[in-house]
Amino acid sequence: MQGVDPVRDVDPAWLPDEAFRPIGTRRTLIRGAGPLVDTVHGEVAGACERFGGRVERDAAPGPFDLVLELAGEDSPEAFTCERNGGCTTVTASGQRGLLYGLFHVVRLGESAFLGQRQRERHAPALDLRMLDHWDNVAVHPVMGQVERGYAGGSLFWEDGRARGELLGRVRAYGRLLAACGINAVTVNNVNVHKTEAHLLTDRIDEVADISRELGRYGIRTHLSVTFAAPMVLGGLPTADPLDEAVQAWWSEATSRVYEAIPGFGGYVVKADSEGQPGPFAYGRSHADGANLLAGALTPYNGTVHWRAFVYDHRQDWRDRTTDRARAAYDHFVPLDGQFAPNVILQVKHGPMDFQVREPVSPLIGAMPRTRLAVETQATQEYTGQQRHVCWLGPMWSEVLRFRPEEGAPVGELARGGLVAVSNVGDDPFWTGHPLAQANLYTFGRLAWQPDANPYRLLDEWIRLTFTPRRSEESARLEAGVYAVLAHSWRTYEKYTAPLGVGWMVQPDHHYGPSVDGYEYSPWGTYHFADRDGIGVDRSVATGTGYAGQYAKPWAEVYESPTTCPDELLLFFHHVSYDHVLRSGKTVIQHMYDTHFEGVEEVEAAQRVWQGLSDLVDPARHARVAERFEEQLRSAREWRDQINSYFFRKSGVADAHGRRIY
């Protein structure tokens, strides 16, 4: 694909040349005009060049196997697809819709050109499908360049500037994102450090360079900004949202942003959170703060993503009445109805912070007059840091299909969209662990269709990504990769923190086990294990009252240890080690069993992967094999530390007499 992916040594991910063979061997007509139509044409032309097909524009003489046309009236990202009389037709009223339609045909593969196909309309359920890059321009001495990044340096920033010659790689990234339905990217860390603050003003041209490349695939660019920008950049004495000079400064700054980037998406803000500045300093509410930026963006139809991740990160661990899980709800529910229409409140899907298992945040569904976006993490901060296989599709799907009360599921309530923290860096495989690409792909597809079956999306990703040399090998290859990934999240859950309690990780970097690592900390992250039992009592009757933040039926379900789902038991209740789960096992035996099972499952997955060595590209196979070594080492460490810790504390022997230290 000359001109599209100038960085040839990069993994093709889910867009290998081979995926374009069905189109590239056929005759295609493209009708319509505009930059994204040109992109569509470029994709088809490139495929035809490789595979001998033909592409025409507008009123060329037929016949054609495929027609891609701008026509009719529909929402800008929707398209229809049908096949009649030997011709497959994709119709969209907007250019983006046409682009998505093209990639739909790519996904269909040969089947797009077989038989008849009823007219189907496809449109994203959510308008905003976004990746947040926690990338810094400057390299942080401890965190590295990408905060919580496990795939090398930043894809956007290199040597302190926006990437120059490598902008082609940014374009290739945009192409991958478009092919799974993502339409927005935030190009810098929500923790806005000194250097990065300047992107908003004197370094906006660099953002524009990135934006231009992403725009070729219909991706909008957003920017994380510091709430203190009027002081830090503007030299004002205050950042008070009700101060007129502050408002004027934001308006002026925003107008210059749109001069540089006409299609700019808007701002992302982490305010009054983990040390970032915010409106609290001026006695103002978060609605005041968010509306300040919303006001500046309104003339341009820009949005503010205002993060709801506000809690006391200097909590006293001795104080069992304060509950970090309550914080987002307590802070934001009283503000429902006060936010401007172009404010999107960005809520983490769980009440804590991307643990392997959390309940769905009670904030979702509790603010009917506010546009909520649900934030997830494609980057595997707490789920193995892309050294472990951990495909998160089922977890996200559970969240999106959760119904806070009778009625709409989270996937519908997230009217502000779905956001993931990106797991991509400048690594040749994009995501460090090649199989972590599945998370990125699945995220995009779920953002398009939140009620999709994630396992079908996994199949889709595998079929696109893994193309065997001989087609008769595809069944073994696909089954193998599926076996490695499909249950990997539950496997990871098994060998790490048990039953929803979370947080048994090493402080700061969050990799590897440390049962007490966050127990006596100021972060609000406790398990309260003693010699008799473990868990956090978040009931209304005897605990922090967090369970009461849910609507019925969940408030009741979570309130009692007899109705609380096993997998969340220790999140909601403090129980004794001999408490019997719904599964019939005691809590302690469940811990032992799952930890032994988890490691065995990793061993089994590793064997499956080893068996695919003849079918997978050697570099990709080797990279995954190397990561499996580390995953297995680490999983054993988790197993032994967790089992030893709780054996030493409880004194209860394993029913099966296995080795505990």
Q: Is 18 a catalytic residue?
A: no
Pick the closer one to a second copy by CB: 442 or 525. Answer: 525
Q: Which of residues 87-126 bind a second copy (CB under 8 A)?
A: none
Q: How far apart are CA 661 and CA 643, in angstroms?
A: 8
- Smallest distance from the beta carbon of 319 to a second copy, in angstroms? 9
- Contact call for residue 560 and a second copy (CB under 8 A): no
SS3 label, residue 420: strand
Q: Which of residues 275-334 bind a second copy (CB under 8 A)?
A: 317-318
Return the DSSP state at 137.
E
- Smallest distance from the beta carbon of 511 to a second copy, in angstroms? 13
Q: Hey, how many other C-beta atoms are within 10 angstroms of the C-beta on 141?
A: 6
- Contact call for residue 45 and a second copy (CB under 8 A): no
Question: Using CB under 8 A, which of the segments 30-38, 277-285, 524-532, 589-597 binds a second copy?
Answer: 524-532
Query: Which residues touch 406 (CB under 8 Å, ≥6 apart)?
Result: none
Question: Which position among 648, 653, 655, 658 is part of the footprint of a second copy (CB under 8 A)?
Answer: 648
- Identify whether the C-beta of residue 432 lies closer than 8 Å to the C-beta of residue 150: yes
- Smallest distance from the beta carbon of 643 to a second copy, in angstroms? 11
Q: Which of residues 581-640 bind a second copy (CB under 8 A)?
A: 637, 640
Question: Using CB under 8 A, which of the segments 22-30, 55-63, 416-424, 643-651 binds a second copy?
Answer: 643-651
# chain residues binding a second copy, by CB under 8 A: 27
SS3 label, residue 99: helix
Strands (E), 46-102: 54-57, 66-70, 79-84, 87-92
**Which of 357, 379, 382, 388 is closest to 601 using CA atoms?**
388
Q: How far apart are CA 518 and CA 627, in angstroms?
A: 26
Query: Which residues touch 391 (CB under 8 Å, ≥6 apart)?
Result: 435, 438, 439, 442, 458, 485, 486, 488, 489
Question: Which position among 532, 614, 626, 629 is part of the footprint of a second copy (CB under 8 A)?
Answer: 532
Q: Hey, how many other C-beta atoms are within 10 angstroms of the C-beta on 618?
A: 9
Q: What is the token pair recorded at 421? A: 């923290």
Question: Using CB under 8 A, which of the segments 329-337, 405-413, 485-493, 506-514 binds a second copy?
Answer: 506-514
Q: How far is CA 572 from CA 188, 250, 373, 498, 558, in A?
A: 35, 43, 25, 13, 7
Which residue bears the tokens 């001795």?
Answer: 318
Question: Which position among 75, 195, 449, 644 is part of the footprint of a second copy (CB under 8 A)?
Answer: 644
**Which of 251, 306, 246, 298 is closest to 276 using CA atoms?**
306
Please tell me which residue in 11, 65, 381, 537 is annotated as part of the active site: 381
x-or-dash string of contact with a second copy, 458-497, rule CB under 8 A: ----------------------------------------
Question: Which position among 160, 520, 562, 618 is part of the footprint of a second copy (CB under 8 A)?
Answer: 520
Pick the closer one to a second copy by CB: 515 or 612. Answer: 515
Amino acid at 187: V
Pick the closer one to a second copy by CB: 474 or 644. Answer: 644
Question: Which position among 241, 513, 524, 543 is part of the footprint of a second copy (CB under 8 A)?
Answer: 513
Question: Using CB under 8 A, which of the segments 89-97, 169-177, 326-334, 530-538 binds a second copy?
Answer: 530-538
Question: Using CB under 8 A, which of the segments 198-206, 417-425, 451-459, 527-535 binds a second copy?
Answer: 527-535
Q: Which helix (H) or strand (E) holds 162?
A: strand 161-162
Q: How far apart are CA 531 and CA 529, in angstroms?
A: 7
Q: What is the end-to-end Cα distance of the chain in Å, rounded?
A: 56
User: Within the chain, how many helices (H) and strands (E) appear?
Assistant: 20, 20
Question: Which position among 201, 238, 251, 641 is part of the footprint of a second copy (CB under 8 A)?
Answer: 641
Pick the closer one to a second copy by CB: 67 or 515. Answer: 515
- Smallest distance from the beta carbon of 515 to a second copy, in angstroms? 7
Question: Which position among 301, 506, 610, 613 is part of the footprint of a second copy (CB under 8 A)?
Answer: 506
Question: Which position among 8, 369, 470, 531 is part of the footprint of a second copy (CB under 8 A)?
Answer: 531
Pick the closer one to a second copy by CB: 59 or 142. Answer: 142
Q: Is 381 a catalytic residue?
A: yes
Strands 417-421 and 371-377, sheet pairing:
parallel
Pick the closer one to a second copy by CB: 312 or 530. Answer: 530
Pick the closer one to a second copy by CB: 180 or 504. Answer: 504
Pick the closer one to a second copy by CB: 8 or 318. Answer: 318
Question: Using CB under 8 A, which of the segments 231-239, 370-378, 446-454, 529-537 binds a second copy?
Answer: 529-537
Pick the closer one to a second copy by CB: 373 or 515. Answer: 515
Please tell me which residue in 159, 252, 259, 274 is annotated as part of the active site: 274
Q: What is the token pair recorded at 451? A: 């009620």
Q: Which helix (H) or strand (E) holds 575?
A: strand 575-576
Pick the closer one to a second copy by CB: 138 or 619. Answer: 138
- Identify whether the C-beta of residue 286 lies closer than 8 Å to the C-beta of residue 236: no
Question: Which position among 485, 515, 570, 624 is part of the footprint of a second copy (CB under 8 A)?
Answer: 515
- Contact call for residue 8 and a second copy (CB under 8 A): no
Pick the closer one to a second copy by CB: 489 or 645. Answer: 645
- Contact call for residue 141 and a second copy (CB under 8 A): yes
Q: Is 353 a catalytic residue?
A: yes
Residues 544-577 as b/e (b if ≥16 CB within 10 A, e otherwise) read bebbbbbeeebbebbbebeebbbbbbbbbbbbeb
Which residue bears the tokens 């089922």?
Answer: 394
Please tell me which residue in 77, 132, 196, 353 is annotated as part of the active site: 353
- Contact call for residue 645 and a second copy (CB under 8 A): yes
Question: Which position among 293, 421, 477, 529 is part of the footprint of a second copy (CB under 8 A)?
Answer: 529
Question: Using CB under 8 A, which of the segments 38-46, 94-102, 289-297, 649-657 binds a second copy?
Answer: 649-657
Residue 405 sits at the vertex; the CA angle it makes with 403 and 409, to the nearest 5 degrees, is 25
Question: Which position among 62, 507, 553, 611 is part of the footprint of a second copy (CB under 8 A)?
Answer: 507
Q: DSSP states of 548-581 as a string? A: GGSPTTHHHHHHSTTTS-GGGHHHH--EETTPBP
SS3 label, residue 658: coil
Radius of gyration of the chain (CA): 25
Q: How far apart are CA 250 and CA 177, in angstroms?
A: 31
Q: How far apart are CA 642 and CA 649, in angstroms?
A: 11
Pick the closer one to a second copy by CB: 338 or 644. Answer: 644
Question: Using CB under 8 A, which of the segments 150-158, 223-231, 421-429, 514-522 binds a second copy?
Answer: 514-522
Amino acid at 182: I
Q: How far apart are CA 435 and CA 458, in angstroms?
A: 11
**Which of 644, 530, 638 is closest to 658 using CA atoms?**
644
- Give catalytic residue positions: 274, 353, 381
Residues that bind a second copy (CB under 8 A): 141-142, 317-318, 506-507, 513-517, 520, 529-532, 637, 640-641, 644-645, 647-651, 661
